[in-house]
Amino acid sequence: MVWPEELPPTPEQLLENVVGCDGLLTMLSDRIDAKVMDAAGEQLRVVSNYAVGFNNIDLSAAKEHGVRVGNTPDVLTGSTADLAVTLLLAAARRVEEGSAEVREGRWGAWKPAALLGVEPEGKTVGVVGMGRIGKAFAERMVRGWNMRLLYTSRSEQEDVNESLGGRRVELDQLLAESDFISVHVALTDDTRNLLDAAAFEKMKPNAVLVNTARGEVIDQDALVEAISSKQIFAAGLDVTTPEPLPPSHPLVGLPGVIILPHIGSATDTSRCGMAEIAVDNILAGIEGRPLRCEVPL
C-alpha cells in the first residue's frame, strides 16, 4: 500500500498499516523500531529509507529481525552542500531580517550601518563532520571564498588536507577559532546536543552557525540564548527539533536566525535520484538481492 495522506502516519497508524509487508519504503519522519518490525511480521525483509540519514531506524532491531536497511547517499550531496552555503550567506548577510523589512513596510532610508553582516572571504570555516556532504561544503567554501578550513572527523581525511588545506582538530578548537561553523554529522547518541550551552560559550561573537544535518545535534534552548545574548552572530537552520517547528517557537522570527523547512535535498535531480535508489533498494531487498545502497548493520 501507499500511505495516502498528506501528513505522515502516526505511530499507531504505522503499526496498523505495516502488517504483512515484505518491504517498507520509509521517510525520515517514520520511526521504524522493533515494534514496527514485529507488527509487520516475520516476512519483512527490507526497510528502504528515502533519505541518506537513517537515525529514524533502529539498526540493532533491524539486525535482530533479519531486516536489511537501505539509504540514498551521493545523489543529494551537492544539493545539501549548496543549501548549507545558501544558509551561511543568508545568515551572515541578514537576508531574513532585510526581507522582513521589505515585506512589512519597514524599509526606511538607506543608512551606512543598517543590517551590517559579516563576510566569509579569507576567514576560518569549521566543518563538524567531514563525510560526503561536509567535504562538498568545504570545497565550496575553500574554493569560493579562499577560507582556512578546520574540521572534526573520526579519522584524518588526507584528501581534504591535501586538496583543501584542511586541518583536523578537536571540536573545542574548531569552535574557538571558526568564524563560520557548519554541522554535517549524522545523529547518534554521541552527537545529540553536541552543540550545547558550553559549546556556544566557546564560539566567537561573530560566529555564524549552519545546520543542514539533524536538528537534535544542536541544543535549541542554548541556541536561542546564544543568539539573544549575542554570544554568536547568526544561525541558519534547515533542520530543527521538532519538525515542523511550531511558529510560536522562540527561534522563529528571532533576529539573526533563518530557518528553512528541511529542504537540503529538495531539487528535482536529488529527489529523483533518491527515489530511484529507494525503489531499487526495496525491490532488491524483497527479492533477496544485494541492495544498491545498504546500511551496514
Residues annotated as catalytic (active site), given as ranges: 262
Per DSSP, the residues of 188-256 read: -TTTTT-B-HHHHHHS-TT-EEEE-S-GGGB-HHHHHHHHHTTSSSEEEES--SSSSPPTTSTTTT-TT
Whose Cβ is closer to ligand DGY: residue 122's or residue 261's?
A: 261
Whose Cβ is closer to ligand DGY: residue 53's or residue 117's?
A: 53
Interacting stretch for ligand DGY, rule CB under 6 A, among 48-56, 62-70, 190-198, 277-285? 48-56
Of these, 52, 62, 227, 278, which contacts ligand DGY (CB under 6 A)? 52
Whose Cβ is closer to ligand DGY: residue 178's or residue 265's?
A: 265
What are 44's three cell numbers? Answer: 519483512
Work out how close the CB of 226 gets to ligand DGY at its nearest, in angstroms, rounded to a whole number: 24
Whose Cβ is closer to ligand DGY: residue 36's or residue 278's?
A: 278
Alpha-carbon gap, residue 41 to 23, rounded angstroms: 11
Whose Cβ is closer to ligand DGY: residue 149's or residue 282's?
A: 282
Q: Which residues contact 175 (CB under 8 A, 6 or more apart)?
A: 126, 181, 199, 202, 203
Of these, 61, 69, 76, 92, which contacts ligand DGY (CB under 6 A)? 76
Q: How many residues contact ligand DGY, by CB under 6 A?
A: 7
Query: Which of 187, 202, 232 lies closest to 51 in space, CA to CA?
Result: 187
Q: Looking up cell 581525511, which residue turns up? A: 157
C-beta separation of 197 from 225 below 8 A = yes
Interacting stretch for ligand DGY, rule CB under 6 A, among 9-17, 33-41, 45-53, 87-95? 45-53
Contact status: 191 vs ligand DGY (CB under 6 A) = no
Of these, 8, 53, 98, 250, which contacts ligand DGY (CB under 6 A)? 53
Contact status: 215 vs ligand DGY (CB under 6 A) = no
Work out how close the CB of 238 gets to ligand DGY at its nearest, in angstroms, rounded to a whole number: 8
Alpha-carbon gap, residue 104 to 11, rounded angstroms: 40
Contact status: 51 vs ligand DGY (CB under 6 A) = yes
Interacting stretch for ligand DGY, rule CB under 6 A, among 51-59, 62-70, 144-152, 191-199? 51-59
Of these, 26, 240, 265, 281, which contacts ligand DGY (CB under 6 A)? 265
Type of residue numbered 203: M
Work out how close the CB of 76 gets to ligand DGY at its nearest, in angstroms, rounded to a whole number: 5
Is 143 buried (19+), middle (13-18) or exposed (0-12) by CB count in 10 A? exposed
C-beta separation of 35 from 15 below 8 A = yes
Alpha-carbon gap, residue 199 to 206, rounded angstroms: 15
Measure Cα distances from 83 to 152, 227, 266, 289 in Å. Answer: 20, 21, 9, 35
Residues that bind ligand DGY (CB under 6 A): 28, 51-53, 76, 264-265
